[in-house]
A and B are shown apart, each in its own frame.
Chain A
């Protein structure tokens, strides 16, 4: 057989039928559901008198709308409450397992899935959420879908798809101290642009990717969507296997052995051909900070806010001007001179235990700057929160002046009460710096967890590679 890419293998294993024009019916193994993009899909099922094809494939948890404090009082926003209650009742009606708001396993759906061993190598995974790409880190084909497709998968366990092109992004070499998975993926987006991956599935490879923990790989795959790609994947290796072994929903005993043997083949064959290859040198990646209103508007922390006057492309220059205006920044300002108002550590990009550990490492024994009005840590799931508390991370954060919250999406998209006020500037470990994303007229700078932590201490961005006492 021809040498196949990992994407080819995952695709081939799930083809139910293919039409002449290549339109394919693809079987879906795992379907994650949250409260925002599902109500209309369940309603559609009801109206058509349909039932889920395989309710066991579906796992639900509310995350976008849930409050991150005072949960015992329920959800005070009546519209949000109805949405979360609608998820509860839909799951009951259709026999779907849900980790409800007060279940310790609740959390951001993309943190919960892998944590529960619900995402296994070789699976196809979908969710009505663009950051479903996260799960590609486990050697799965995972991508976000719209609500009509959520309904389609619920009803048929399949999705109508056309195969994407394949791209390999290879990160050679090793990262400098203080440089993280987040910086890798921001650097990739800076390199290929937010539309650079459109029409592709990206496989991340190379020494620097292999050296990442599973959490780090999830961070990279998570933001594949910010590069415009359909999905991001990483080949299965020892780390994948070790990560999955023993998790609640992972196979055990003989079945584990059989599974492991198959999973070990989930890598691109020697000589497999990609439609596009991009190579980056890890040692040249610095901690990244976005300065604008698109994730591709990113520079190294040692850099300056760029000058639209130097951009050749007129549409781009206009976009840069608009972004600077929105962000309230002057071209040429050193990134480390940008003062901040808030800091947010959390989200499906950087709300896992390793992220909290890395941030706590910086925070330990220090205090949040007086000029920072709010510094939030929102664990990605109830279990991440519990683990962090066992390790005493919560104390490190609260002693320093951070707020320690309940798990959810929180200020990543500010659907709940955690929002920026107009003009406020936030260092955020989330994934989108769009206009209004964290609150109307709020300003978002995307960074890694240690960079966010250091910014909270200093009140402005600092290059953590040079950090000692922090000024």
Chain B
């Protein structure tokens, strides 16, 4: 995985709560057996006026001018600002794949759904939780005529909107470490193979029925 250390990007304000993963990437695109190429279909039903199909060329589709990512100010945004419970619903990792493929590296919201939150870290996306009043402020800054640029500094757990003071954010140590180093979880876990094997042997004795299959 690519390392995440610092990132500067413009902010797209998506002013909705409970944005679910069905909205982030609709089901018809889940038929793909690849990990990449979901970006053009990110928020497909909100972004385009017609019905999207897998493997379709999206460049000529009619776009919904009211949707935030179709606003010229936000087209090249790398930071998504949203409301409560972002990423709720289905566990599909296609959601962070689509966000990353589009170019989003950071998502800021007052709260995230659990599985989506986890999935972000596996894909080099940094989800940041901030208090609702700070989110409100960021929404008003991001909705100005000039797009808002934010510098995100993971090492120091700080984000700085251009022209304003720095805002601190929390992140679990382990997750931070993995993002900063771009670590592969599986490799890390396999360093403990011996311990897993010992655990498994004990479990086999205690609960042999678990191992019937």
User: Residues of A with Cβ closer than 8 Å to B?
Assistant: 16-17, 19, 21, 23, 25, 27, 29-30, 36-37, 39-40, 43, 48, 50, 53-54, 56-57, 59, 64-65, 77, 79-80, 82-83, 86, 97, 118, 120, 122-123, 128-130, 143-149, 151-152, 155-158, 160, 162, 194-195, 198-199, 228-230, 249-251, 255, 259, 262, 294, 315-316, 319, 322, 413-415, 432, 434-437, 440
Contact = CB atoms under 8 A, between A and B. Distances in A.
Contacts of B200: 27, 54, 157
A79 B55 contact: yes
Interface stretch (B6-14, B27-35, B155-163): B27-35
Contacts of B45: 435-436, 440
Contact of B111 (A57, A195, A294, A435): A195
A336 B54 CA distance: 38
A460 to B, nearest CB: 26
Given A83-B31, A436-B26, A160 B114 contact: no
B186 interface: yes
Interface string B1-30: 000000000000000111010110011101
A311 B21 CA distance: 26
Interface in B121-174: 122-123, 172-174
Nearest to A160: B185
B196 A16 contact: yes
B83 interface: yes
A104 B120 CA distance: 37
Contacts of A145: 91, 115, 118
B196 A37 contact: no
A319 B31 CA distance: 30
A382 to B, nearest CB: 19
Contact of A79 (B32, B173, B209): B32
A145 B211 CA distance: 22
7 contacts: A17-B195, A23-B174, A27-B203, A148-B122, A149-B122, A194-B88, A228-B113
A88 to B, nearest CB: 12
B174 A437 contact: no
A415 B34 contact: no
B111 A79 contact: no
Interface in B49-95: 51, 54-55, 83-85, 88-93
A255 B114 CA distance: 37
Contacts of B30: 36, 64, 415
Interface of B: 16-18, 20, 22-23, 26-28, 30-35, 45, 51, 54-55, 83-85, 88-93, 96, 111, 113-115, 118-119, 122-123, 172-174, 185-186, 189-190, 192-193, 195-196, 199-200, 203, 207-213
A152 B189 contact: yes
B185 A414 contact: no
Nearest to A29: B210
Given A83-B31, A432-B22, A435-B23, A144 B115 contact: yes
Nearest to B184: A48
Given A27-B199, A156-B189, A434-B22, A118 B213 contact: yes
Given A148-B93, A319-B17, A198 B114 contact: yes
B131 to A, nearest CB: 14
Nearest to A313: B17
Nearest to B27: A415
B31 A65 contact: yes
Given A123-B210, A156-B189, 7 more contacts: A25-B192, A79-B32, A79-B54, A82-B31, A148-B119, A156-B196, A198-B113
Contacts of B189: 25, 152, 155-156, 158, 160
A434 B115 CA distance: 17
Contacts of B31: 36, 65, 77, 79-80, 82-83, 415
Please list the 4 inter-chain residue pairs (A to B) with the smallest Cβ-Cβ separation, ordered nearest first.
Answer: A148-B122, A39-B33, A251-B209, A146-B119
Contacts of A65: 31
A40 B35 contact: yes
Centre residue among A37, A156, A199 by max chain B CB count within 10 A = A156
Contact of A436 (B22, B118, B173, B211): B22
Contacts of B207: 29, 122, 259, 262
Given A23-B174, A195-B84, A16 B192 contact: yes
A228 B55 CA distance: 32
Given A151-B186, A194-B85, A249-B212, A36 B16 contact: no
Given A146-B118, A149-B122, A56 B209 contact: no
Centre residue among B85, B91, B93, B115 by max chain A CB count within 10 A = B91
B97 to A, nearest CB: 8
Nearest to A90: B33
Nearest to A200: B114
Contacts of A59: 213
A195 B109 CA distance: 13
B56 to A, nearest CB: 11
Given A25-B196, A39-B33, A294 B18 contact: yes
Nearest to A41: B93
Given A48-B186, A194-B18, A434 B118 contact: no
Contacts of A29: 203, 207, 210
Contacts of B173: 21
B174 A21 contact: yes
A160 B119 CA distance: 12
Contact of B186 (A123, A129, A146, A155): A155
B213 A130 contact: no
A434 B20 contact: yes
Contacts of A39: 33
Contacts of A83: 31-33
Contact of A440 (B33, B51, B54, B115): B51
Contacts of B119: 146-149
B32 to A, nearest CB: 7
A302 to B, nearest CB: 26
Contacts of B212: 249, 251
Contacts of B96: 146
Nearest to B119: A146
Nearest to A413: B27
Contacts of B210: 29-30, 120, 122-123
